[in-house]
């Protein structure tokens, strides 16, 4: 009988008997808040829960304005539109991210420029940004991926030098800090997702953050059919806004959040600091254990990353140390040992099954030139390829929500696969 769970041996953790912490987390407070919304009949449209959450999230993130919306895809689109990104513009983003980061750029008729990532953080490589800048570049969209931070010092330096907008895609980073500043408070706009798997969730949902009053006004109008913002700030309430009853409206859509989502988020945000602190401490502890195991390397944590917020716990695998065992087999074996899925990173966007702009000529074939520009296959992303095809191992953040003893199990499982790798080589 094999020792490895994948081959029929006993797992290191039987998740049926000893489950990992549940995600999402809720209790009576959510139940009460949801019933309150139900019974109020105010289920949407600038309701009290939405206003409360926007204020709370702005305070939590350390920004002046936070505006909730339906999800973290439309918030990216709103951010691009608010910054005036559109026809003729180029936006630089990492090739390793969820398809929405790029898809929203073509949705505003601009051109995504995919660049490579740093091999030790999997976040956008500032050198690749500089190399990709042209007179058409209008914005940079860094993504703080899984539990890593894009190098915001370098990105802000480059943006300042070339007069570019920075839209932080913080879909994975609710509460992480770079040099004491929260993700989403450093660039011009931060965009967050509250989809079910994220570290702060209402099932679906999103929010944009900014310190810029004019951007906030536009963002608010964009999510609410172009209407004049209400309750965004005292300045707007006093009528100092761009939008007046005399006209001067902004074209927008309905990207509003519901009161049910906002009610859950108000409660969930109260738990987030403690959850983040636990995930961060366990992540750091697990990374120290990695130092003792051959063939696995922790993601680099910059000294500037004063607090980490996780979507996934990710690490780098080196098959050469595991007698050539392919990473896919390693992930299968690890999933079987720990009873929770270990997955690959996102597919690089130059060859991604979910990022296929050429399937929609009726929307995206604005011209022959544009059609060629948005062909993702034209970009060369060797580091993204290496990460996806050879190195990446990602585990949902709930793995970090338990105890140090749980982290010991993850590390011991990797060691067990290392010790028995030859069994998987047949």
d(CA 196, CA 202): 6
For residue 349, the minimal CB distance to ligand PLP (Å) is 11
Q: Is 335 in the site for ligand PLP (CB under 6 A)?
A: no
Binds ligand PLP by CB under 6 A, chosen from 46, 61, 68, 73: 73
For residue 417, the minimal CB distance to ligand PLP (Å) is 28
Number of residues that bind ligand PLP (CB under 6 A): 14
Residue 213 burial by CB count (10 A; 0-12/13-18/19+): exposed, middle or buried? middle
Residue with smaller CB distance to ligand PLP, 197 or 318? 197
- DSSP letter at 121? T
Binding mask 78-97 for ligand PLP (x = CB under 6 A): -------------------x
d(CA 278, CA 400): 7
* CB burial string 236-254: b at 16+ within 10 A, e below: beeeebebeeeeeebebbe
Alpha carbon separation from 32 to 24, 35, 44, 266 (Å, rounded): 17, 5, 17, 12
Binding mask 148-177 for ligand PLP (x = CB under 6 A): ---------------------x-xx-----
Q: Is 193 in the site for ligand PLP (CB under 6 A)?
A: yes
Judged by CB under 6 A, which stretch of 70-78, 295-303, 376-384, 402-410 contacts ligand PLP? Answer: 70-78
Binding mask 200-239 for ligand PLP (x = CB under 6 A): ------x---------------------------------
Q: Is 128 in the site for ligand PLP (CB under 6 A)?
A: no
* CB burial string 160-184: b at 16+ within 10 A, e below: eeeebbbbbbbbbbbbbbbeebbbb
For residue 126, the minimal CB distance to ligand PLP (Å) is 18
Residue with smaller CB distance to ligand PLP, 112 or 206? 206
- DSSP letter at 346? P
Q: State yes or no: is 198 an active-site residue.
A: yes
For residue 333, the minimal CB distance to ligand PLP (Å) is 26
CB 242 within 8 A of CB 218: yes
Binds ligand PLP by CB under 6 A, chosen from 46, 61, 68, 71: 71
| Residues pairing with 392 in the sheet | 316
Judged by CB under 6 A, which stretch of 69-77, 79-87, 179-187, 227-235 contacts ligand PLP? Answer: 69-77
Give the residue from 236, 215, 170, 206 showing the smallest Cα distance to 80: 215
Q: Which of 49, 138, 198, 416 is catalytic?
A: 198
Binding mask 130-149 for ligand PLP (x = CB under 6 A): -------------x------
DSSP reduced 3-state for 98: coil
Binds ligand PLP by CB under 6 A, chosen from 33, 100, 106, 289: 100
d(CA 140, CA 332): 36
Residue with smaller CB distance to ligand PLP, 5 or 141? 141
Residue with smaller CB distance to ligand PLP, 144 or 228? 144
* CB burial string 256-277: b at 16+ within 10 A, e below: bbbbbbbbbbbbbbeebeebbe
- What tokens appear for 16 in the block? 């049926």
Residue with smaller CB distance to ligand PLP, 102 or 336? 102
Window 374-393: residues binding ligand PLP (CB under 6 A): none
Q: Is 101 in the site for ligand PLP (CB under 6 A)?
A: yes
Q: What is the DSSP string of 392-417?
A: EEEEEGGGGSS-HHHHHHHHHHHHHH
Contacts with ligand PLP, residue ranges (CB under 6 A): 71-73, 97-98, 100-101, 143, 169, 171-172, 193, 195, 206
Return the active site residues.
198
């Amino acid at each position: 009988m094999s020792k490895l769970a994948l081959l029929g041996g006993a797992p290191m953790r039987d998740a049926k008997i000893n489950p990992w912490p549940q995600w999402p987390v809720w209790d009576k407070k959510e139940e009460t808040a949801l019933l309150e919304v139900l019974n109020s009949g105010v289920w949407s449209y600038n309701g009290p829960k939405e206003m409360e959450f926007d204020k709370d999230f702005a305070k939590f993130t350390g920004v002046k304005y936070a505006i909730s919306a339906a999800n973290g895809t439309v918030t990216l689109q709103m951010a691009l539109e608010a910054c005036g990104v559109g026809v003729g513009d180029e936006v630089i983003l990492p090739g390793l991210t969820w398809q929405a980061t790029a898809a929203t750029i073509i949705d505003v008729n601009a051109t995504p420029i995919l660049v490579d990532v740093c091999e030790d953080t999997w976040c956008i490589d500032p050198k690749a940004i500089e190399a990709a800048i042209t007179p058409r570049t209008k914005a940079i969209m860094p993504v703080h991926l899984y539990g890593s931070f894009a190098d915001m010092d370098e990105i802000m330096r480059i943006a300042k030098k070339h007069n570019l907008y920075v839209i932080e895609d913080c879909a994975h980073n609710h509460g992480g800090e770079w040099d004491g500043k929260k993700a989403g408070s450093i660039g011009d706009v931060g965009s967050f997702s509250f989809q079910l798997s994220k570290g702060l969730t209402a099932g679906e949902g999103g929010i944009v953050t900014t310190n810029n009053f004019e951007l906030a006004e536009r963002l608010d109008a964009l999510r609410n059919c172009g209407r004049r913002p209400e309750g965004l700030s005292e300045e707007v309430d006093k009528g100092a806004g761009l939008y007046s009853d005399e006209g001067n409206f902004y074209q927008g859509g309905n990207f509003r959040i519901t009161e049910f989502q906002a009610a859950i988020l108000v409660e969930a945000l109260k738990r987030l600091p403690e959850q983040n602190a636990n995930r961060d401490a366990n992540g750091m502890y697990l990374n120290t254990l990695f130092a003792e195991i051959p063939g696995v390397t922790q993601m680099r944590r910059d000294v500037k990353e004063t607090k980490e917020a996780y979507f996934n716990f990710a690490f780098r695998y080196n098959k050469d140390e595991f007698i050539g065992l392919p990473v896919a087999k390693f992930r299968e074996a690890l999933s079987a040992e720990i009873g929770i899925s270990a997955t690959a990173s996102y597919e690089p966007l130059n060859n991604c099954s979910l990022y296929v702009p050429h399937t929609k000529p009726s929307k995206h074939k604005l011209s022959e030139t544009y059609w060629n520009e948005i062909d993702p296959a034209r970009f060369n992303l060797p580091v993204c390829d290496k990460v996806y095809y050879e190195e990446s191992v990602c585990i949902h953040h709930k793995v970090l929500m338990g105890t140090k003893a749980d982290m010991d199990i993850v590390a011991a499982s990797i060691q067990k696969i290392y010790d028995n790798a030859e069994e998987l080589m047949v």
